[in-house]
Amino acid sequence: MSERNIILKTPGLTMRFGGLTAVDNFDIEVQEGRIVGLIGPNGAGKTTCFNMITGFYNPSEGNIYFYDEDITGLPTHKVCAKGIARTFQNIRLFYNETVLQNVMIGAHLRQRSSWWQAPLNLPSFLREEKEISDKAMFLLEKVGLSDLAGEKANSLPYGEQRRLEIARALATQPKFLLLDEPAAGMNPQESWELMHFIQKTREDFDLTILLIEHDMKVVMGVCEHIWVLDYGKLIAEGPPEEIQANPKVIEAYLGEEYLENA
């Protein structure tokens, strides 16, 4: 691999819940501009890693460096302002709001004026609102949902809700995007489209993407580098070809059938 900037570094990252060490010394380096993956069995600690990186959990030990800045323990909104955005394993949308409003909510996190300034500076507030809704429309076009801008979020099928969540994450103008099981609940056609969508999104928005995914076609198809967690511990890392052939990974996660069907 060519030399690239390191966008994320997590020396010694550890999360304990009472007696349970959910993540034990999760130590990775992510190169800027890559699409990389985190895999492992249910309960291995993958989402917990995302929760630490994005400020939802304060790690028990270790550090998180975004570029070279220590962001360990920052609250979620500050992590977001640094340029890290995520989607959730269990989709989180404002279901009674429209598709467009859901994306505008993401964009508001980057807005300059705040609500208490609005009455004092109405013209600039309105100008910003217009900018934000234009930008949200632009993002909806990018994810192929602009025709549904006025629909309630809860009327969207599952695959489209996942794309809407990605649009909302993009509205915060991230440099680093974390996707927690983006293909969950998708049929093979939808997950095939999702793979291309992830690659195109990386190009269009100049992103680095870390994804958790159980769909091995998606993981092996888009990831340039993969880490494998098992019971909170990293058991392997490498390019997809190596990971698929790694006996420890096959035993802990992929299973022998995976090899037979590959």
Using CB under 6 A as the binding rule, whether residue 86 contacts ligand ATP is answered as: no
Using CB under 6 A as the binding rule, whether residue 58 contacts ligand ATP is answered as: no
Using CB under 6 A as the binding rule, whether residue 62 contacts ligand ATP is answered as: no
From Mg ion, ligand ATP, none, interface partner of 113 (C-beta below 5 to 8 A by class): none
Check: CB of residue 176 under 8 Å from CB of residue 86.
Answer: no
From ligand ATP, Mg ion, none, interface partner of 146 (C-beta below 5 to 8 A by class): none
- Tell me the DSSP string of the chain: -----EEEE-TTEEEEETTEEEEEEE--EEETT-EEEEE-STTSSHHHHHHHHTTSS--SB---EETTEE-TT--HHHHHHHTEEE--SS----TTSBHHHHHHHHHHTT-SS-GGGTTTTHHHHHHHHHHHHHHHHHHHHHTT-GGGTTSBGGGS-HHHHHHHHHHHHHTT--SEEEEESTTTT--HHHHHHHHHHHHHHHHHHT-EEEEE-S-HHHHHHH-SEEEEEETTEEEEEE-HHHHHH-HHHIIIII-HHHHHH-
CB within 8 Å of 69: residues ≥ 6 apart: 82
| Candidate residues 47, 54, 102, 172; the one interacting with Mg ion per rule CB under 5 A | 47
CA angle in degrees (0–180, nearest 5) for 81-7-202? 80
Using CB under 6 A as the binding rule, whether residue 185 contacts ligand ATP is answered as: no
| Candidate residues 14, 48, 72, 246; the one interacting with ligand ATP per rule CB under 6 A | 48
Could you say which residues in the range 13-32 bind ligand ATP, by CB under 6 A?
17, 22
Smallest distance, ligand ATP to C-beta of residue 190, A: 19
Using CB under 6 A as the binding rule, whether residue 44 contacts ligand ATP is answered as: yes
Q: Which is nearer to Mg ion, 16 or 175 (CB)?
A: 16
Residue 225 corresponds to which tokens in the numbers above?
């580098």
From ligand ATP, Mg ion, none, interface partner of 37 (C-beta below 5 to 8 A by class): none
- The 177-216 contact track toward Mg ion, x by CB under 5 A, reads ----------------------------------------
* Stretch touching Mg ion by CB under 5 A, among 31-39, 87-95, 182-190, 192-200: 87-95
Number of residues that bind ligand ATP (CB under 6 A): 11
Using CB under 6 A as the binding rule, whether residue 89 contacts ligand ATP is answered as: yes
| Candidate residues 7, 30, 45, 182; the one interacting with ligand ATP per rule CB under 6 A | 45
Instruction: Give the binding site for Mg ion (CB under 5 A).
Output: 46-47, 89
Instruction: Give the binding site for ligand ATP (CB under 6 A).
Output: 17, 22, 40, 42-48, 89
